[in-house]
Amino acid sequence: MRHLTHPLRAALLSAVAAFSLPQTLLAQDFAGETVEWTIPFGVGGGTDVWARFFAPQLSQALPGQPNVVVLNVPGGGSITGANQFASRATDDGLSILGTSASTQYPAILGDPRVRYDYADWTAVLASPTGGVVYADPKYGVTGPEGLETLKAEEIRFASQGATALEMPVLLALKMMGLNIRPVFGMESRGAGRLAFERGEAGIDFQTSSAYLNSVAPLVDSGKAVPLFSMGVVDAEGNVTRDPSFPDLPTFVEFYTDAMGAAPEGEAFEAWKALMIAGYSLQKMVVLPKDAPAEVIATYADAARQIVEAPDFRERAGEEIGVYDQLVGDEADAALQAALTVDPAIREFLTTWLSEDYGVRF
């Protein structure tokens, strides 16, 4: 399987940079300490699965092998936990945050609930991801030829919120003319999946980690039907198949086959921008920017040890999909690039969210 090369990868080599750091910057010791890793989602969603994959490895890789505890703080599509981290985090390396597209999108769009600023944080690890949209078998739809059947239904979709992780999914479904009735307020994508399993939603979406761990068994038992992956969007807007789901059509392929023409226009440009900002750089470990340089360098070095381990690719393929991880300066530089959104696209998105979901900015 071909590995995904991150579309926003900076032209620098973090490993070389690490070796050039003074030895004093790598001397941080966390022996006997507890690192509190805030995850602003409930248990079972993609970000929670991702964090619990990395947490024990981070504990082993940090000097002194501190206890790394995942603290789930759900609410507001991740805004609640991110706000709490922004107000309470210490700068001694014992407070870290796991962010997701649901954390980034509201910040980009100027959501008034946001009381955090990415400019106050430094990214030390970034994980791209993908995701899959799947439906209830009761509709009898297995591919793009069934789109007209889906259009005839009012379909519930359990969502964290209009500006959360699901935003490009909602936009994709709207572009295809589906009558989606979102039910907002889910604590995590895991909660959305449970609503789907209970029959309270007819369509759902999960990021790669949660899909591989929790939805694939539903597909195998005939309780869910995958429709399409979101695909991989590079910095130039090219869409290719997700290497974690090479046999699934992308949204663009599904749309083209179902509608008879490729997607285009403002909505499609906005969709691609959301994918770059929220999925090409989807989950991150960030620390307060005020943390000492030696603390940030120590975390970057630990992240590098984890992703460069000989068996990492094999294990990551099972847990979080086959994606290249970014560490240290690469991760932080890519973050700054991904959060830069064209003003015209921002205006399109805020207008759409206002008209369809009553979201005010």
Model pLDDT, residue 340 = 78
Model pLDDT, residue 77 = 84
pLDDT mean for each 10 residues of the chain (361 residues): 43 38 56 97 86 96 97 92 97 96 89 92 92 97 96 96 92 97 90 96 92 94 98 87 95 97 96 89 92 96 95 80 87 80 92 94 77
Buried b (16+ CB within 10 A) or exposed e, 143-163: ebebbeebeebebbbbbbbbb
Q: Which residue has the tokens 């979406």?
A: 205
Model pLDDT, residue 281 = 78
> Domain residues of the chain, as ranges?
14-128+279-343, 131-277
Q: What is the CATH number of domain 14-128+279-343?
A: 3.40.190.150
Model pLDDT, residue 352 = 96
Query: Residue 263 has which token pair?
Result: 């997607």
- Picking from 86, 163, 159, 71, the residue whose alpha carbon sits closest to that of residue 118 is 86
Residues 6+ apart with CB under 8 A from 285: 37, 54, 96, 97, 98, 123, 124, 125, 126, 299, 303
The whole-angstrom separation of Cα 199 and Cα 173 is: 19
pLDDT in tens, 206-255: 988 889 889 999 999 999 999 999 999 887 889 999 999 999 999 999 99
Q: What is the CATH number of domain 131-277?
A: 3.40.190.10
User: The dihedral of CA 196, 197, 199, 203: what is its sign?
Assistant: positive
- Going by the DSSP 8-state scheme, the letter that residue 323 receives in this structure is B
Task: Classify 50 as helix, strand or coil.
Answer: helix
